Amino acid sequence: MRADPLIAPHRPLFLVGGLLWVSSTVWWMVQLWEPTSTPLDVTILHGLLMGLSFMPCFIAGFCFTTVPRWLGLPPVDARRLSASVTALLLGWLLVLAAAGPLASMTLLTWGLALAALGLAGLSGQLLGLCRRGAAGDAHHAYAVTSGLAVCALALALAAAGAALMQPLLIRQAARLGLWFGVATVFAVALQRLSPFLHQQGKRAPWLLILLLLGTWLRGGLDLAAPWLAAPPAWMTMPAALACMGLAAVLLKASLRRELAAALRTPLLAQLHLGILWLALSFALEAAALLLTSFGQAGRLGLLPLHALSLGFMGTTLLAMVSRVSAVQHGRSIAVDALLWALQCLLQASTLARMLGAMAPEMLGPAAGGFALLAVGWTLRYGPWLLRGRTKPAKD
């Protein structure tokens, strides 16, 4: 009797990610256009859904596909992940129900706890892969695994905050997961999968360390914001200089002359857009910190955060999960005209959200653009994920 064929692990995780991406963006669009009752502030729920619902699903799908190759291990069968994926999906569906028609803090608590349990299970299985890998790139594998584990911890803290009726704890948990979980994974993946954090054709560990330190610095300041509404200049000025210097380093690293030929590759061209957004986010953070030093705190609002999350993470995520989906489906061309159209929609929606800091009427169109992007991506790649590979991959 022939054994059942292996089910690629990205398929269920990307499908769940696509479903949550559509649900989260449509929910936010509805809240902006026709607000409904919610168990706590919609901006806190927005941060949870956009940072810790679909993002970790896509990250986990990517990790279970690539980490075994990094470690020289055989592929993972998605059936081994079924319990964790089911818990993750059911948890977030409960959160969406609690944030929408049911408006229940109790339901929110159980949903976040179940999602945390599912993500913790996935993190534990990734850790098991890292321990079994006798050779290969263990450093990057452990780094992305730890980032996913931080996301699981953040969800557990958010569940505790909901149970204790402490909105600030939920807000802090969302920011912890974004800065020290999701952002960490993106930074590590950027070095592992692109030439932008390289020097002379080799990975430059100091570039990655600088990027991680700069990201964690911003995350620490964000977490301290509720207690440091007006931080002293001796704290903000050095941080501003550090962010400004890192923006310059990133820009220089991404615009090196030797990368000119590589950037003609469509995937690298899209990843390059992402790193330009990353450099801009650090420049905007530096400007915000300088304004704070002169008593103008909050003048730039969430511009630095959205340049990072929507610009850098969104552009990078769209490029990488689309490529994995196409290649695993056997497509010889991963970056085609439709993916470029989706990237253009993402860039336009991100710019609209940035303009929303000065013109609030742009927030609705930006949310609509992101919802359309999520629906478009899921309709295009969802059928591929359901069917699996149909022809040999050539990429």
What residue type is 171 in one-letter code? R
Q: How confident is the model at residue 233 (pLDDT cuts 50, 70, 90)?
A: confident
Architecture of domain 10-387: Up-down Bundle (1.20)
Q: Alpha carbon of 196 to those of 23, 168, 263, 264, 306: distances in Å?
A: 33, 37, 10, 14, 21
- pLDDT number for residue 1: 34
Residue range 308-344, pLDDT digits in tens: 999 999 999 999 999 998 888 877 677 889 999 999 9
- pLDDT number for residue 5: 67
Q: How confident is the model at residue 33 (pLDDT cuts 50, 70, 90)?
A: confident
Per-residue pLDDT averaged across 286-294, rounded?
A: 89
Residue 217, pLDDT above cutoff 90? yes
Residue 394, pLDDT above cutoff 70? no
- pLDDT number for residue 3: 43
Residue range 156-215, pLDDT digits in tens: 999 999 999 999 999 999 999 999 999 999 999 999 888 888 877 788 889 999 999 999
Residue range 2-18, pLDDT digits in tens: 444 678 899 999 999 99
- pLDDT number for residue 260: 85
Task: Write out the two tokens for 112.
Answer: 């976040």
For the chain, percent of residues with pLDDT exceeding 90: 69
Environment class of residue 269 by beta-carbon count within 10 Å: exposed (0-12), middle (13-18) or buried (19+)?
middle
Task: Write out the two tokens for 153.
Answer: 């911890």
- pLDDT number for residue 391: 45
